[in-house]
Amino acid sequence: MEPSRAAVVTDLANAAAFVPMLRPAGAPVLAFAAGAAEELGENDGSVPDAVVKRALALVEPDDRAQIIRCFAEAEPGTWRRCRQLVDHAERELVASAIRGAICDRRPIPRTQLLVIEHSKWLPPSAALRLGVVLPSGAIWSIADVEAVLPELPQGFLWQEVREPREGPLLERVDDWHVARIRLLCDALERHLPIMSLPRASRIVLADSRKVLANDTTARRAAAALLLSHTGFVLSMQSSVESLN
């Protein structure tokens, strides 16, 4: 495959990471995703190709069309580059959506819960504590960071961490962000407690239940994750610049 085409396919294979809204919606494939998540266990971001192949057969035509339409609207430049390999591109894109759906349902790795278990200081709210644990890239994309960054105060990364209760972070939270947060917290609730991490299990389980029971808490958690993702993206960009 030509280098330019290989780059396009790589973008599509990683689409679940930079277009978080990209997920299948059909009941059969989501039921399969839930079962696969249980079998795979802790989330390291990978899903075996054989698992994805079985799930592809369960995606209905309308669902497939919606996934492709969603990506084309979110990443029109990337999608235009796919005109000469449409069939292959569509398959890679739907496969990426399936990987994302499975990863959403997998439990958070214990290494992330260790932060809660052994930290002497924890943020004072459920939204901020979950911001330490939940993967921000499962909710927000780099494009979201670029959109909100000009509206944040200068030096915001070094200010005291506060729960977002108003402003641009909270204003960007839509209903589908809340649904995704609840999906992640549902996965946490189903896999906790972990006996070797009693403190983290107690705290994160209680926080997850607050999100599942309260729309306001879920929205604030989504906004906290946008702040977390913005900090992560900026730190990665700084690292790349320092290497260059």
- Count of Cβ atoms closer than 10 Å to residue 46 Cβ: 10
Look at residue 107 and give its three-state secondary structure. coil
Find, among 71, 202, 180, the residue nearest to 134 by Cα: 180
Task: Print burial letters for 92-121: b (CB count within 10 Å at least 16), e (below 16).
Answer: bbbbbbbbbbbbbbbbbeeebbeebbeeee
Whether 110 and 203 have beta carbons less than 8 Å apart is answered as no
Task: Print burial letters for 21-44: b (CB count within 10 Å at least 16), e (below 16).
Answer: bbbbebeebbebbbebbeebeebe
Whether 23 and 17 have beta carbons less than 8 Å apart is answered as no
95's tokens: 């496969």
Series of mean pLDDT values for 10-residue runs along the chain (244 residues): 65 78 91 94 89 95 93 84 78 91 89 88 88 87 88 77 86 92 91 92 95 94 91 76 62
Structural domain boundaries in the chain = 3-104, 110-243
Q: What is the pLDDT of residue 3?
A: 53
pTM: 0.81
Task: Print burial letters for 158-176: b (CB count within 10 Å at least 16), e (below 16).
Answer: eeeeebbeeeebbebbeee
The DSSP symbol for 81 reads T
Report how far residue 226's alpha carbon sits from residue 237's, in angstroms, rounded to the nearest whole number. 16
Q: What is the pLDDT of residue 241?
A: 63
Q: What is the pLDDT of residue 19?
A: 82
Q: What is the pLDDT of residue 49?
A: 92
